[in-house]
Structure 1
Amino acid sequence: MKLESAIPLRRMAPKPDRPVSFFEFWPGWLFYTPVVAHWILLGLRHGDFSLPTAANPRITTGGLCGESKLSILSQVGLAARDLVAPACGVLAGPHGAEAAEDAMAAAGLRYPVVVKPDIGCNGTGVRLIRDFAALARYMDAFPPGETVVVQHYVDEPHEAGLFYVRHPDEPVGCITSLTIKRPPVVVGDGRSTLRTLILRDERSGLISHLFLERLAAQLDTVPKLGEAVRLVFVGNHCKGSIFQNATDMVTPELTASIDRLAKAMPDFFFGRIDVRFASMAQLRRGLDFRVIEINGAGSEATHVWDPRTRLVDAWRAQFFHYGAAFRIGAANRRRGFASSGVRGMLRHWRNQRRLMAIYPMND
Structure 2
Amino acid sequence: MLQNLPDLSSQTGTPDEDGKAPHPLSLFEFWPGSIFYTPIVLYWIALGLRYGDFSVPSAANPSIETGGLCGESKSGILDLAGPVANRWIAPYVTQMLRKGLREEDAKAITVALSKKGIAFPVVVKPDIGCNGTGVKLVQRPSDLLPVLRQFPSGVRILAQALATGPVEAGLFYIREPGATSGRITSITYKESPVLEGDGVATIRELIMRDTRTSLLSDIYLPRLEGRLDDVPACGEPVQLVFTGNHCKGSIFRNGCKDATPALTRRLDEIIGDITEFHFGRIDVKAASIDALRRGEDFEIIELNGVGSEATHIWDSRTTLWEAYRAQFFHYREAFRIGAMNRARGRKTCGAYTMLRYWRKQRRLLALYPLND
Residue 64 of structure 2 is aligned to residue 59 of structure 1 = yes
Would the aligned equivalents of 2:223 and 2:241 in 1 still touch at CA under 8 Å? no
Tell me which residue corresponds to 2:152: 143
Distance, in Å, in 1 between the alignment partners of 2:277 and 2:300 is 15
Tell me which residue corresponds to 1:10: none
Would the aligned equivalents of 2:180 and 2:272 in 1 still touch at CA under 8 Å? no
Are residues 307 and 16 of structure 1, via their aligned partners in 2, closer, same or farther at CA, if it must alter by over 3 Å?
farther
Tell me which residue corresponds to 1:245: 254
Unaligned runs of 5+ in 2: 1-15
Give the CA deviation at 1:347: 0.7
Tell me which residue corresponds to 1:171: 180
Distance, in Å, in 1 between the alignment partners of 2:107 and 2:74 is 22
Would the aligned equivalents of 1:178 and 1:245 in 2 still touch at CA under 8 Å? yes
Are residues 250 and 16 of structure 1, via their aligned partners in 2, closer, same or farther at CA, if it must alter by over 3 Å?
farther
Distance, in Å, in 2 between the alignment partners of 1:152 and 1:311 is 37
Would the aligned equivalents of 1:69 and 1:293 in 2 still touch at CA under 8 Å? yes
Residue 33 of structure 2 is aligned to residue 24 of structure 1 = no
Would the aligned equivalents of 1:214 and 1:361 in 2 still touch at CA under 8 Å? yes
- 1:265-280 pair list within 5 angstroms: 265-280=274-289
Structure 1 letter corresponding to 2:60: A
Tell me which residue corresponds to 1:87: 92
Distance, in Å, in 1 between the alignment partners of 2:84 and 2:337 is 24
Distance, in Å, in 2 between the alignment partners of 1:217 and 1:156 is 29
Would the aligned equivalents of 1:92 and 1:140 in 2 still touch at CA under 8 Å? no
Tell me which residue corresponds to 2:363: 354
**Pick from 301, 311, 314: which aligns with 1:292?**
301
Distance, in Å, in 1 between the alignment partners of 2:220 and 2:361 is 24
TM-score w.r.t. structure 1 length? 0.95
**Pick from 60, 79, 83: which aligns with 1:78?**
83
Unaligned runs of 5+ in 1: 1-12
Give the CA deviation at 1:26: 0.4
Distance, in Å, in 1 between the alignment partners of 2:27 and 2:194 is 21
Q: How many corresponding residue pairs?
A: 351
Distance, in Å, in 2 between the alignment partners of 1:100 and 1:197 is 38
Distance, in Å, in 2 between the alignment partners of 1:48 and 1:217 is 50
Runs (4 or more) in structure 1 with deviation over 4 Å come to 13-17
Residue 51 of structure 2 is aligned to residue 42 of structure 1 = no
Residue 189 of structure 2 is aligned to residue 184 of structure 1 = no
Distance, in Å, in 2 between the alignment partners of 1:207 and 1:360 is 20
TM-score w.r.t. structure 2 length? 0.92
Tell me which residue corresponds to 1:133: 142
Are residues 106 and 16 of structure 1, via their aligned partners in 2, closer, same or farther at CA, if it must alter by over 3 Å?
farther
Would the aligned equivalents of 1:90 and 1:103 in 2 still touch at CA under 8 Å? no
Distance, in Å, in 2 between the alignment partners of 1:328 and 1:70 is 23
Distance, in Å, in 2 between the alignment partners of 1:109 and 1:211 is 30
Are residues 279 and 36 of structure 1, via their aligned partners in 2, closer, same or farther at CA, if it must alter by over 3 Å?
same
Tell me which residue corresponds to 1:4: none
Distance, in Å, in 2 between the alignment partners of 1:83 and 1:25 is 33
Would the aligned equivalents of 1:16 and 1:308 in 2 still touch at CA under 8 Å? no
Structure 1 letter corresponding to 2:166: P
Residue 229 of structure 2 is aligned to residue 229 of structure 1 = no
Tell me which residue corresponds to 1:264: 273
Give the CA deviation at 1:169: 4.5
Would the aligned equivalents of 2:58 and 2:68 in 1 still touch at CA under 8 Å? yes
1:110 aligned counterpart, secondary structure: coil
Would the aligned equivalents of 1:90 and 1:96 in 2 still touch at CA under 8 Å? yes
Would the aligned equivalents of 1:96 and 1:140 in 2 still touch at CA under 8 Å? no
CA RMSD, 1 decimal: 1.2
Distance, in Å, in 2 between the alignment partners of 1:156 and 1:135 is 23
